[in-house]
Amino acid sequence: MKATLILEDGTVYVGESFGAEGEAVGEVCFDTGMTGYQEVLTDPSFFGQLVCMTYPIQGNYGVNSEDNESDRPWPKGFIVRECCSFPSNFRCEGTLADYLKKNGIIGIERVDTRALTRKLRESGVMNGVITTAENPDVEACVRRAKEFAIRDAVRNVTCAERREYPAEGEAKFKVALYDFGNKRNITRCLNALGCDVSVLPAATPAQEVLDGGFDGVMLSNGPGNPAENTEIIEELKILLDSGLPVFGICLGHQLMALAAGARSEKLKYGHRGGNHPVKDLALGKTYITSQNHGYAIVGESLPPQVGEVSHINMNDGTVEGVRYKNRPVFTVQFHPEASPGPRDTRYLFDEFLDLMKGGAR
């Protein structure tokens, strides 16, 4: 079946449909990961987006019930050069096409993803429409694309109620994990290090956390524009000065920086994939990291009396981490918990544990 991708500037890409049928409107972005498409699909940070995978073949090892990063896939559409119809892997439980169809996600293949990626790199991310209509109305699709905006992202992906995840073996610490779009591997990493984890809805008041007997707070990843989450930012101001150890990842990093008085900006085409070099300024070492974000913190806007930039992106110099002065608080833009990888920066979880040891109750 024919499928068509129509960008808001009127550019049209014709391909073939796989997955669900219908129409999807979203923000078109690209991910450079060579593996991990199931983790991409189930990452809540992709809420509201049409994801283009730059690696030419997807679905070659199928899907399974173990690799999901959340309860469901979140992109509104999936764009690939080729979707493998006959996957081969001992863990395979089904095909990528069937998985998308089951979850109502529209896919389009036989698209020149290199040309699309180059366009997004040169022009910046833009909205688009994927449709399986035989003769789509291009002008109408362009209008719908231009009208689209990602709104209330965190509210749409956060958990509805508190969830408990016990430590593997003896529990050493009790961690409150704010769910702004939490990926399961954050919880897994903490559990493996001996932490009982309470996953909390994004709107949980800071005072409830402070009264909960927690040894530390984890701020998760998540989708959307960080500056829109004004109520959450106000609560994080309380946590910033509470003396409780805090470790933030991705959106959690951005929200804490905004709480400290910094500002964010939208990147031209974002950082999405598992091959982004980041330098730890304190150690002088560069690591390969997994990233998924369309916004970044403006380093010059961070009040110097409050915090300092700890990590930078070696490709474009953007802020990748912040350490807060005289506070047991640090955050990073990238994903040290990355699944399937890389795992170069897992040492940051050990630093978080060291902070909790210093303030253990």
Does residue 321 sit in the same domain as residue 334? yes
CATH number at residue 289: 3.40.50.880
- What average pLDDT does range 183-207 have in this prediction? 98
Binding site for L-glutamine, residues? 45, 222, 224, 251, 254, 292, 294-295
* pTM: predicted TM-score of the whole model, two decimal places: 0.96
Q: How confident is the model at residue 113 (pLDDT cuts 50, 70, 90)?
A: very high
Helix (H) or strand (E) holding 106: strand 106-109
Does residue 166 sit in the same domain as residue 142? no
Q: How confident is the model at residue 359 (pLDDT cuts 50, 70, 90)?
A: low
Does residue 188 sit in the same domain as residue 220? yes
- What average pLDDT does range 126-152 have in this prediction? 97
361 pLDDT above the threshold of 80: no
> What is the rounded CA–CA span in Å between residue 44 and residue 206?
23
Does residue 195 sit in the same domain as residue 309? yes
DSSP sequence for 193-205: TTEEEEEEETT--
Helix (H) or strand (E) holding 102: helix 96-102
Give residues with Cβ within 8 angstroms of 253, minimum separation 6: 219, 297, 321, 322, 331, 332, 333
The CB density around residue 233, as the number of other CB atoms within 10 Å, is 18
Q: How confident is the model at residue 342 (pLDDT cuts 50, 70, 90)?
A: confident
> What is the rounded CA–CA span in Å between residue 156 and residue 160?
10
User: Which residues are known catalytic residues?
Assistant: 250, 335, 337
Does residue 30 sit in the same domain as residue 46? yes
> What is the rounded CA–CA span in Å between residue 280 and residue 91?
36
Does residue 223 sit in the same domain as residue 342? yes
- Token pair listed for 293: 């974000």
Q: Residue 15 belongs to what domain range? A: 2-150
Q: What is the pLDDT of residue 153?
A: 98
Q: What is the per-residue pLDDT across 8-53, written as a single tens digit (0 to 9) for each?
A: 999 999 999 999 999 999 999 999 999 999 999 999 999 999 999 9
Number of domains in the chain: 2
54 pLDDT above the threshold of 70: yes
Q: Checking phi first, is residue 234 left (phi over 0); if not, alpha (psi -120 to 50) or beta?
A: alpha
Q: How confident is the model at residue 339 (pLDDT cuts 50, 70, 90)?
A: confident
Does residue 207 sit in the same domain as residue 95? no
Contact 256, 219 (CB under 8 A): yes
Give residues with Cβ within 8 angstroms of 284, minimum separation 6: none
Which is it for strands 307-313 and 329-332: parallel, antiparallel or unpaired? unpaired
Give residues with Cβ within 8 angstroms of 181, minimum separation 6: 43, 44, 45, 47, 153, 154, 157, 158, 220, 221, 222, 223, 251
> What is the rounded CA–CA span in Å between residue 331 and residue 349?
11
Does residue 171 sit in the same domain as residue 88? no
> What is the rounded CA–CA span in Å between residue 55 and residue 107?
15
340 pLDDT above the threshold of 90: no
Q: What is the pLDDT of residue 144?
A: 98
Largest Cα span, the chain? 65
Give residues with Cβ within 8 angstroms of 268, minimum separation 6: 121, 124, 125
Domain boundary among 150, 180, 209: 150
Give exposure, 241-254, as e/b (b: 16+ Cβ within 10 Å): ebebbbbbbbbbbb
Does residue 260 sit in the same domain as residue 165? yes
Q: What is the pLDDT of residue 358?
A: 84
Does residue 142 sit in the same domain as residue 160? no
Q: What is the pLDDT of residue 34?
A: 93
